[in-house]
Chains A and B, each alone.
Chain A
Amino acid sequence: MSQTDAKNVRVSKMQLSKDSIHQKKILNPETEKGHVISEDFSVFYGNTEAIVKANLSMPAKKVTAIIGPSGCGKSTVLRAINRMNDLIPGCYAKGKLIFDDEDIYSQYTDVVLLRKRIGMVFQKPNPFPKSIFDNIAFGPRLCGIRRKSDLQEVFEKSCRQAALWDEVKDRLEDNALGLSGGQQQRLCLARALAVDPEILLMDEPTSALDPRATSKIEDLIRELRGTYTIIIVTHNMQQAARVSDYTAFFYEGVLIEFAPTSELFTNPREKKTEEYITGRFG
């Protein structure tokens, strides 16, 4: 971010809508509002441009799927939203990425505040090697909640949201690594929910799970939709079709098409998209 941007860091909505005609056409301005909006947003790993000037607007409280062949930059986009890419040396971003009217890549952005509002579920379940309770209490404790009763309250709420409560209510102090893969992934979801985020990012959350655990997660996504904005990366086109409202198709770092899911899968506008969803490559 250059110094001049610092003065007017709040991006005016007028300016936005003028610039992103593309989204305007796709989202219904009456009922839908972009929660994360990218404008000529690029991500670089050193000299290679992994995401090339993407323009899209992911609607609030809807499920947006990101699909594309391996290495096309799906994870990169997702991890740009909560700035997990900061961990990678030599990785930087250009352009604008607006979250709730504020620029994620502004120099005044505090990644801690940002990440508290944008939760993430990873490809492989990654619970901490601690008790089930401590895993979920990790976030609330971070927010300064210390009282046991409060923590228990959050614990129960998050577990119920993640459909985990019945399975763990009798074994709060067991090591989380003793859970099954599917349970671990739902634990990670509950852990993310316990911080009370607005957006949930999911990077291929079911690719390490068996079909039954996968369908459970998909059910959850459908349930949480309407409450949270969910952005999910998936390799599985059926999954994208099943759970998402909108789908973005990336190819070699370029956003090829962004459309309501039903439209993209039944009537793709771009030839590349059609080739991909009909399984000609990828």
Chain B
Amino acid sequence: MYRPGRMLRPVHSSATFLDGNGKVAVSQTTLNAGPTPGRSAKRSIYISEGTSRWRRFVSFSIEGFLFLVTSLSLIAVFFIILFIAIDAIPFFQLEGFTEFFTSIRWYPSGSPPEFGALAIIFGSGMVTFLAAMIAVPLALLSAVSLSDILPFSVRQFAKPVIEIIAAIPSVAYGFFALVVFAPILQTSGGHLLGILVWLFGAPLALIVSFVVGDMLADRIFGDNVTQVQRTAILLLLMGIFSVGLYFLYAPISAIKISSGTNALNVSIILGIMALPTIVSVSEDALQAVGRELREGSYALGATRAETITKVVIPAARSGIIAAIILGIMRAIGETMVVWMASGNASQIPSPWYNVLEPVRTLTATIAGDMGEADHVTGSSRYHVLFAMALFLLLISFFSNLISEWAVMRSKKKWGV
């Protein structure tokens, strides 16, 4: 019979096992596994010093190999910073810092060439800021609803939606911005803006009139206010808001947009693209706030809204900040959408907050100018693009550190 074990090879003699009827004939002696004298000598748990050393060497090598492969990420990060810097530094050596950061004149192929990137940096900042303005409120609301408000079935539906929004390639968003959205903005942008104002304004006005109406009714009619009185005040307020919104529509819809490829267009699209990051990271942070804290708040008689705004969100603050930073990074680093639909005009809009004018961003400049600059490797025109990349890289590097620190802090706080 066989004995599995390092020293003992299997012996194929099944006859001892099965008798004629196919039944196992197990004799006590064959099964006896105790430490019989003859056997304990063979079945030692010790290994020789040589084997032990060899084993340790093998496991050390395996672990070393795994470590080396893992550290490829670290090496990659190091090399990315190094190689971008190597090609960026010559630019500053050749042209200095002042022009790059203070001038708005960007004529890299002129003679003499001019490398003022201020307008481009401004453009990047502008679309990013605007995108954040659009994405952050919507994303935070969604995150809160996903973690605390919505019933499970809606959550099951919303998660894939968010994942698909995150998965759509940026060139598809850029295509949408350029081919679908820009023409609509150009031909009927004013009306679109008007509709947007209604879309966001109407529900807000509804909520405000409900709440203010309720408070007013209590204030005016005292404690024994009737339902009729409440409704009257509510209708009055809603009327006022509707009239206000109606008159707001006219001036807004009169706005003419001369070019559909502008800062507003890309900001809206970038906002949509940044949504999934912010939603999922801040939802994680909200979920990490324990059940006990919420239940404690409910036990004190707080409503769900109060629990969320006064207890849950403050507790998840650092995670939410990290989420916002990551979302903003996504918007800053995005290339295709801005390249295709921002208009690529290296200018500071006039007035500077005019979001309906074309702008140009760092990423789009790198993507667009490298095609020509590639032929003149070694010139300032080539190196300036690396300088921009270095600038982007440093921003993303530090925001990443900050967000990681924030996540770490919230994790430590909640012990997850």
Which residues of A are in contact with B by a Cβ distance under 8 Å? 9, 33, 35, 60-61, 99-102, 104, 106-110, 113-114, 116-117, 139-140, 142-145, 147, 149-150, 153-154, 156-157, 160, 195-198, 226-229
Contacts and interface: CB of A to CB of B under 8 A. Distances in A.
Nearest to A6: B49
13 contacts: A60-B34, A100-B35, A108-B49, A109-B47, A113-B6, A113-B47, A114-B45, A116-B5, A117-B45, A143-B5, A145-B10, A160-B26, A197-B33
Name, among B14, B35, B43, the residue most crowded by chain A CB atoms within 10 Å (CB to CB).
B35
B46 A9 contact: yes
A180 to B, nearest CB: 24
A101 B2 contact: no
Nearest to B43: A117
A5 to B, nearest CB: 12
A119 to B, nearest CB: 10
A198 B34 contact: yes
B40 A150 contact: no
A157 B23 CA distance: 10
Nearest to B48: A108
Contacts of A99: 45
A109 B49 CA distance: 10
Interface of B: 2-6, 10, 12, 14, 17, 24, 26, 28, 31-35, 40, 43-49, 51-52, 55
Contacts of B6: 113, 116, 143
Contacts of A114: 45
Contacts of B43: 113, 117
The 7 closest A-B pairs by CB, nearest first: A143-B4, A108-B46, A114-B45, A110-B47, A100-B35, A113-B45, A198-B33
A117 B3 CA distance: 11
B10 A228 contact: no
Contacts of B24: 156-157, 160
Given A116-B4, A196-B33, A198-B34, A100 B52 contact: no
A149 B14 contact: yes
B36 to A, nearest CB: 10
Nearest to A101: B40
A139 B4 contact: yes
Nearest to B40: A100
A17 B70 CA distance: 52
A117 B51 CA distance: 19
A30 to B, nearest CB: 16
Nearest to A147: B12
